Structure 1
């Protein structure tokens, strides 16, 4: 009981029991539904199942607004959340207990002070949220397989990894990585974010005046970018969005920002570029 209250991982025996309860057919269905999981080699799939079992045994998942969670939903969430720590310590996800799933997007109250000192209060639409020391909140509707590299689960759990260093600043805890220095990380992060911001500004400048940059009509211009434009928000969002693309659609990221891709490859101890994806791996699948 005290392990749960402290947000620590489940005991080895509890993880083993959870793994034994996962039906092979259900696991196969999850892998087949998400092509970037299907692309894993057999040994990686087995390791991912271990990590997913750890997560299911260590965290509580609760549906919000009347959402009833099925075994498929729980395992899908656990498998994708486990992917970033496939070759990292699961202790990086300790210190909190709950994953909350809404049926669809939700609104988060925000308070922001502008440069003039005026405080603005507003509600922001969200598909996910990761609280420091608190739960991960997700929208199931936004977790369904879809075109593109968007993945709210990987995004929010990347924020949890970022917070493992004590700050949401785009640099996770590197203490277990003797081959990565904070100085190198900071320099590469800053340089890569600058490159991406410049590319985004060039794309925005190229959008014709009669096209609303916030509309779907502007998509062909933004699609030229290696990352979703939201990555330019700040260092923390750059790391989270980059992590989505790294696992789901790595080639554009590796081509446009090779130094940053290499840094993520060393940190995650994975190289998604070497995986064989189904020919339609960016197309929506049906659970």
Structure 2
């Protein structure tokens, strides 16, 4: 049963120990806190448990700012991270070893150049980051069960890892194991979908009355008409990551608003959450 895991980041004996630690009680506790997993078949649930065990055995979990990592925290993160590779090769998560978990949001340095060419350096709060060749960093306040039902920071950051494994961080993961998918096809659908979403976002922004602050909660009614969070329009890499989290946790609006892109993601991940969650 564990032959497919051998040599992929952890010794089979270590993986077997992690599997043994995932008791039925612990497994059900974690699944109950992640409603988007409700439609998994028994065989899919077992495959997800094996991949979660592989992650626990292969990655070093570290708590930051005094966060005491419990078995439940690590298992919950591992399960969410394992969902995108449920039917993919776990080797796609190789090349790095650490997952750092903060109790809440954390500050990260940013550098931006404005239209005048002036460089601005500042610190901004983040709920997750995926460093190229380095760790995945997460906020447990945003990654834990019962948090945002239509977003998922763990899936978002691990989608970035899939993107990074494919080479350039450009919204195109490795397609080597997908004979039916071609880079040109992916690039075309990605570009068309990204442009369509960007135009839809601009239309929504233009429709917000002048007396409504677009940065306030009052503007949510307008932005909620979009199939994705506005952050997806940042660039193609963020479009892929935001789309991936929506694909798994809130697939309906994505499938309706960007059907060709949803179909392409379903072919890549070899899953159909829309049918599963129905």
Whole-angstrom CA distance in 2 between matches of 1:28 and 1:227: 30
Structure 1 position 40, deviation (Å)? 1.0
1:195 alignment partner in structure 2: 196
TM-score normalized with structure 1 length? 0.92
Q: Secondary structure at the match of 1:107?
A: strand
1:96 alignment partner in structure 2: 96
Whole-angstrom CA distance in 2 between matches of 1:104 and 1:195: 34
Whole-angstrom CA distance in 2 between matches of 1:201 and 1:276: 30
Considering Cα pairs closer than 8 Å and 6+ residues apart, tell me whether 1 or 2 has the greater RCO: 1
Whole-angstrom CA distance in 2 between matches of 1:66 and 1:148: 27
User: Deviation per CA, 1:192-245, whole angstroms, max 9, x where unpaired?
Assistant: 011111111111111110000000000010011110000000000000000000
Structure 1 position 98, deviation (Å)? 0.4
Whole-angstrom CA distance in 1 between matches of 2:155 and 2:200: 24
1:142 alignment partner in structure 2: 142
Whole-angstrom CA distance in 2 between matches of 1:8 and 1:64: 27
Q: Secondary structure at the match of 2:260?
A: helix
> After TM superposition, where is structure 1 displaced by more than 4 Å over at least 4 residues in a row?
none
RMSD: 1.2
Whole-angstrom CA distance in 2 between matches of 1:115 and 1:205: 22
Q: How does 1:73-152 map to 2 (within 5 A)?
A: 73-144=73-144, 145-152=146-153
Whole-angstrom CA distance in 2 between matches of 1:276 and 1:261: 15
Q: Secondary structure at the match of 1:96?
A: coil
Unaligned runs of 5+ in 1: 1-6, 278-287
Q: Secondary structure at the match of 1:275?
A: helix
Whole-angstrom CA distance in 2 between matches of 1:43 and 1:35: 18
CA contact (8 A) 1:8 1:96 kept: no
Aligned length: 271
TM-score normalized with structure 2 length? 0.95
CA contact (8 A) 2:255 2:262 kept: yes
Structure 1 position 147, deviation (Å)? 4.2
